[in-house]
């Protein structure tokens, strides 16, 4: 293949900027296709930079209109200008530079920089898209104060927003235009700049901080959607209170605005004082949002708000330090959700996400450390490794030094580095200073890619009562890192007897070498070890256990995570053997002991229905592919998983039906965690009932769809029907299309449901729906809902043995790349597991990938293709 010619950016080559920008004054004269931007930059040489260096400003797709130095217009001979660069070879040590550019928001289909979404002007500048607005030192270690003037047609944009506090505005005499003035007193890098201008609805509330600051809160949404913003506002207020209580962090402006738009590449963006959201993560009413939507809104509103301190007040020195803000803030939003809901359920869900996205990433060609050492396109490193594994590193840090020292270290970090652009080393040093813990080896979690495998064996001497655990760690080579060093791995554990009673209630073993041994004396009987309680480290674990021991843990382990994990281990082991047998021409396997365990969970589900819903769910097909890891046959996996659902369903159908009937009775909707848990359990029971008796189960699902008084029950009925090849599915899906047609987010759900129908049937629907009048490549949500859902959530369809799924997705990726390279690159990551497939599919996937390679491809997509094919 033709290698991507983009330059490689390396952490080892970091150098401070040659210039600093103390203040930025921006003047926007908004126009759909001819927006004029005038930037006045107050610059000075950086004493840490290169003496006498030229001023080189970044740009992208800009039309330069004028340049002035200290108020004097410069001739073209005084600078070198290109759409992506503005160089002034001879400038004084301190000066003011004025740059006037023209941009075209309406034509900006990349949705990076300043663009239009349904008539609303908005921005997305992270990581390096501020350069698409004006020439700038577009790097996070250049932090400036900002003043902004926005001018627009009053009729089309009555609301004019930017960062900070409003300080003026009004009509422009003799015109139909008006203006607004904004000032942000807090220094920030350019990626946190934001502008929104449009005609929006909104809700307003207030929050008073412990120090007495009264903050005005606004959530703005597109016209006609104002009634769907209340839950986001409630989540914001709870987030502010939680951060005050748990981390001592108060908000620092008089105004906090959230704006939700329908065309957005990301989930949300934490711009200082003006968060911009994909409206999927803001809009909610019981009739339009599911329990998962409510959960996501709560978590993402919190995440973006928490960035005010972990990301904005203290930002990254360079983009290699991205985990410094994202991993830390994911940790904070996970803690928030755990306090708002069920901590055990949240922990299990977070680990499921980590394994589904990050473990797969670590095992494939796109593996990279939490802090990458190099990149070609930084947009491709907003990954599960940086975010989710980055959060797990913080979890381990807290476990190693304890909650009190962790809070002390966070307080020191905020006090020591407020207003700075920092590195991971500076962050970790704060915890070293308060705890005296030596983090030298721990830093490998940031710099070494791959998921460690911890192999455990045990010995018991009945005569002496001595019990010994032997731990051995190994991390396989990853791209660019053939040799691996041992990690610091904290193991929270306990020892149980055969009846599930504690022999050792709780212990912490820290693995530091390749091999570590832990011995316990006076143990009265051979124990069952409960290892990595609470998922105390992001590792894979291998231990030779009898199914009976796992079932004891599933029934009695005091750690809820390990109760769930033990049952998963039984199911994974059974399904692995079943898949191997199916490929050898044998019938799928089942286990009556497993059915009994599931039955017991359903019977006792009243105490914690949300936990029961997680515990009785079998591993997904993608999870089994990850566990099998090589020579993967998605069809054999699908056959094994489907057969096990049916076998267990038939064994629990009576108690499942009785419990479902009780849970499915219509009640007034509430998004609280307990109510959501009951609805989740009802869905899992419906899955079993459909698997056991498709005709009877599908009739139940259709009846639930028709009588539902909230979107969760309605959507759950549709999800249950996805696997039912029955007339009821077609009837419900047709009714859903008619009902959802005019609501973009609900129609996205309908597209995803169709894309999730297993195998060829789902692929045929995707092919047809690409021509649906409501499908468009211009909206990232719609593309993700149909093509992304198919590629990542329909393994038998995407991995069709004839390669049709690969060709379909590759075709769409190629079409999207010309419009939105970031979206195309994200879609292409669906191929990251291709080397783990059996030979026939592997060859077809490679063929589809190589067919995408072209000199005309974007930098974003070329980077993913090159690394995936390497």
Provide the 3-class DSSP secondary structure of residue 130: helix
- 683 within some domain: yes
Look at the block and give the residue holding tokens 């402006």: 253
**C-alpha to C-alpha distances, 690 to 661, 686, 703, 809, nearest whole angstrom:** 14, 6, 13, 30
Query: Is 175 a residue whose pLDDT tops 60?
Result: yes
pTM for the full predicted model: 0.97
Query: Is 3 a residue whose pLDDT tops 60?
Result: no
- Asked whether residue 515 falls in the same domain as residue 596, the answer is no
- 557 within some domain: yes
pLDDT tens digits along 413-454? 999 999 999 999 999 999 999 999 999 999 999 999 999 999
Provide the pairing of β-strand 502-511 with 489-496: antiparallel
Q: Which of 173, 198, 223 is the last residue of a domain?
A: 198
Measured CA to CA, the distance from residue 323 to residue 386 in angstroms comes to 5
Q: Range of 176's domain? A: 19-198
Whether the CB-CB separation of 612 and 599 falls below 8 Å is answered with no
Residue 26: name the closest of 136, 127, 105, 109 by CA: 136
Query: Is 52 a residue whose pLDDT tops 60?
Result: yes
Name the band, by pLDDT with cuts 50, 70 and 90, for residue 129. Answer: very high
Q: Which domain CATH number covers 779? A: 1.25.50.10
Name the band, by pLDDT with cuts 50, 70 and 90, for residue 1. Answer: very low
- Asked whether residue 584 falls in the same domain as residue 665, the answer is yes
- Asked whether residue 52 falls in the same domain as residue 161, the answer is yes
- 339 within some domain: yes
- 485 within some domain: yes
Element (H, E) at 434: helix 424-435
- Asked whether residue 428 falls in the same domain as residue 346, the answer is yes
Query: Is 115 a residue whose pLDDT tops 90?
Result: yes
Tokens of 80: 């070198």
Whether the CB-CB separation of 286 and 143 falls below 8 Å is answered with no
Q: Which domain CATH number covers 422? A: 1.10.390.10
Query: Is 820 a residue whose pLDDT tops 70?
Result: yes
Measured CA to CA, the distance from residue 120 to residue 123 in angstroms comes to 10
Q: What is the mean pLDDT of the chain?
A: 98
* Exposure on the CB side of residue 56, measured as CA atoms within 13 A: 10
- H helix count then E strand count, the chain: 29, 31
Specify burial of residue 414 (Cβ count, 10 A radius: 0-12, 13-18, 19+): middle
- Asked whether residue 26 falls in the same domain as residue 174, the answer is yes
Nearest-10 Cα torsion for 656, 660, 663, 669 = 130
- Asked whether residue 35 falls in the same domain as residue 95, the answer is yes
- 303 within some domain: no
DSSP 136: B
pLDDT of res. 6 = 80
Measured CA to CA, the distance from residue 288 to residue 863 in angstroms comes to 38
pLDDT tens digits along 488-526? 999 999 999 999 999 999 999 999 999 999 999 999 999
Name the band, by pLDDT with cuts 50, 70 and 90, for residue 278. Answer: very high
pLDDT tens digits along 221-272? 999 999 999 999 999 999 999 999 999 999 999 999 999 999 999 999 999 9
- 722 within some domain: no
Provide the H-helix boundaries in 557-633.
560-583, 592-603, 609-615, 621-628
pLDDT of res. 643 = 99
- Asked whether residue 617 falls in the same domain as residue 755, the answer is no
Mean pLDDT in residue range 360-389: 98
Name the band, by pLDDT with cuts 50, 70 and 90, for residue 152. Answer: very high
Q: How many domains does the chain have?
A: 5
pLDDT tens digits along 561-611? 999 999 999 999 999 999 999 999 999 999 999 999 999 999 999 999 999
Bridge partners (DSSP) listed for residue 87: 56, 80
DSSP 481: B
- 46 within some domain: yes
Residue 369: name the closest of 455, 268, 475, 510 by CA: 475
Catalytic residue ranges: 304
Name the band, by pLDDT with cuts 50, 70 and 90, for residue 540. Answer: very high
Look at the block and give the residue holding tokens 């820290």: 510
Q: Which of 447, 469, 492 is the last residue of a domain?
A: 447
Query: Is 636 a residue whose pLDDT tops 60?
Result: yes
- Asked whether residue 497 falls in the same domain as residue 586, the answer is no
Whether the CB-CB separation of 330 and 303 falls below 8 Å is answered with yes
- Asked whether residue 506 falls in the same domain as residue 561, the answer is no
pLDDT of res. 4 = 54
- 268 within some domain: no
pLDDT of res. 584 = 98
- Asked whether residue 610 falls in the same domain as residue 597, the answer is yes
Residue 795: name the closest of 633, 687, 585, 584 by CA: 633
DSSP 499: T
Bridge partners (DSSP) listed for residue 21: 43
Q: Which of 392, 415, 447 is the last residue of a domain?
A: 447
- Asked whether residue 443 falls in the same domain as residue 472, the answer is no
Residue 807: name the closest of 773, 763, 769 by CA: 763
Q: Which domain CATH number covers 466? A: 2.60.40.1840
- Asked whether residue 381 falls in the same domain as residue 515, the answer is no
Q: Which domain CATH number covers 148? A: 2.60.40.1730
Residue 298: name the closest of 277, 274, 272 by CA: 277
Residue 144: name the closest of 17, 320, 325 by CA: 17
Provide the 3-class DSSP secondary structure of residue 44: strand
Bridge partners (DSSP) listed for residue 114: 123
Look at the block and give the residue holding tokens 């995803």: 752
């Amino acid at each position: 293949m033709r290698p991507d010619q983009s330059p490689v950016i390396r952490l080892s080559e970091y150098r401070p900027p040659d210039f600093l920008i103390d203040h930025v004054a921006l003047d926007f004269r908004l126009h759909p296709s001819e927006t004029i931007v005038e930037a006045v930059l107050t610059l000075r040489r950086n004493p840490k930079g290169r003496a006498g260096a030229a001023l080189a400003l970044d740009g992208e797709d800009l039309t330069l209109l004028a340049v002035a130095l200290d108020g004097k217009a410069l001739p073209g001979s005084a600078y070198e200008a290109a759409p992506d660069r503005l160089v002034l070879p001879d400038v004084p040590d301190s000066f003011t530079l004025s740059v006037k550019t023209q941009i075209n928001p309406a034509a900006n289909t990349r949705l990076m920089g300043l663009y239009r979404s349904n008539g609303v002007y908005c921005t997305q500048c992270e990581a390096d898209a501020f350069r698409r607005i004006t020439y700038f030192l577009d790097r996070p270690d250049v932090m400036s104060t900002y003043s902004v003037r926005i001018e627009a047609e009053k009729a089309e944009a009555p609301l004019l927003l930017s960062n900070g506090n409003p300080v003026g505005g009004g009509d422009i005499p003799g015109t139909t235009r008006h203006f607004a003035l904004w000032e942000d007193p807090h220094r920030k890098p350019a990626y946190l700049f934001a502008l929104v201008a449009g005609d929006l609805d909104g809700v307003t509330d207030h929050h008073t901080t412990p120090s007495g600051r009264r903050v005005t809160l606004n959530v703005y949404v597109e016209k006609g959607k104002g009634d769907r913003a209340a839950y986001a506002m409630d989540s914001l207020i709870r987030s502010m209170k939680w951060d005050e209580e748990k981390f001592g962090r108060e908000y620092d402006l008089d105004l906090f605005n959230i704006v939700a738009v329908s065309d957005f590449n990301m989930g949300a963006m934490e711009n200082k004082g003006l968060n911009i959201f994909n409206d999927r993560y803001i809009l909610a009413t019981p009739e339009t949002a599911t329990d998962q939507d409510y959960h996501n809104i709560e978590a993402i509103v919190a995440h973006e708000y928490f960035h005010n301190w972990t990301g904005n007040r203290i930002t990254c020195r360079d983009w290699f330090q991205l985990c410094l803000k994202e991993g830390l803030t994911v940790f904070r939003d996970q803690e928030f959700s755990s306090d708002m809901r069920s901590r055990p359920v949240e922990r299990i869900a977070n680990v499921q996400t980590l394994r589904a996205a990050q473990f797969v990433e670590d095992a494939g060609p796109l593996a990279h450390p939490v802090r990458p050492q190099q990149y070609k396109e930084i947009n491709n490193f907003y990954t599960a490794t940086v975010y989710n594994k980055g959060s797990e590193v913080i979890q381990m840090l807290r476990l190693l030094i304890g909650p009190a020292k962790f809070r002390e270290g966070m307080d020191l970090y905020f006090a020591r580095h407020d207003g700075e652009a920092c590195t991971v080393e500076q962050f970790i040093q704060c915890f070293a200073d308060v705890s005296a813990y030596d983090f030298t080896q721990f830093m490998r979690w940031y710099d070494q890619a791959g998921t460690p495998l911890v192999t455990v064996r045990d010995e018991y001497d009945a005569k002496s009562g001595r019990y010994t655990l032997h731990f051995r760690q190994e991390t396989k080579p990853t791209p660019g890192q053939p040799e691996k060093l041992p990690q610091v791995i904290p193991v929270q554990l306990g020892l149980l007897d055969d009846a599930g009673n504690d022999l050792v209630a709780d212990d912490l073993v820290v693995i530091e070498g390749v091999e570590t041994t832990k011995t316990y004396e006076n143990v009265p009987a051979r124990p069952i070890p409960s290892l990595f309680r609470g998922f105390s480290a992001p590792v894979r674990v291998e231990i030779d256990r009898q199914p009976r021991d796992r079932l004891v843990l599933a029934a009695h382990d005091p750690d809820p995570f390990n109760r769930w994990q033990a049952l998963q281990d039984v199911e994974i082991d059974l399904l692995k053997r079943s898949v191997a047998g199916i490929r050898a021409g044998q019938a799928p396997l089942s286990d009556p002991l497993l059915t009994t365990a599931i039955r017991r969970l359903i019977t006792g589900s009243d105490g914690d229905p949300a936990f029961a819903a997680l515990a009785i769910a079998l591993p997904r097909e993608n999870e089994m592919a990850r566990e099998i890891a090589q020579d993967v046959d998605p069809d054999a996996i699908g056959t094994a998983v489907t057969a096990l659902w049916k076998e267990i369903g038939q064994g629990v159908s009576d108690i499942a039906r009785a419990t479902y009937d009780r849970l499915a009775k219509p009640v007034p909707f509430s998004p609280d965690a307990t109510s959501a848990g009951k609805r989740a359990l009802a869905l899992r029971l419906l899955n079993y009932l459909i698997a056991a008796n498709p005709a009877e189960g599908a009739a139940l699902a259709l009846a639930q769809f028709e009588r539902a008084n909230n979107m969760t029950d309605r959507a759950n009925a549709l999800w249950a029907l996805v696997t039912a090849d029955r007339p009821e599915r077609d009837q419900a899906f047709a009714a859903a299309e008619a009902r959802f047609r005019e609501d973009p987010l609900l129609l996205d759900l309908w597209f995803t449901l169709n894309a999730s129908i297993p195998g060829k049937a789902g692929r045929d629907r995707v092919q047809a729906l690409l021509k649906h009048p409501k499908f468009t490549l211009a909206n990232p949500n719609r593309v993700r809902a149909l093509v992304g859902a198919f590629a990542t959530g329909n393994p038998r369809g995407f991995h069709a043995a004839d390669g049709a799924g690969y060709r379909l997705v590759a075709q769409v990726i190629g079409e999207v790349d010309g419009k939105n390279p970031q979206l195309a690159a994200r879609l292409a990551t669906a191929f990251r597991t291709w080397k783990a497939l059996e030979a026939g599919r592997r060859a077809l996937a490679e063929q589809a990938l190589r067919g995408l390679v072209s000199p005309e491809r974007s930098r974003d997509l070329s980077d993913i293709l090159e690394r995936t094919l390497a």
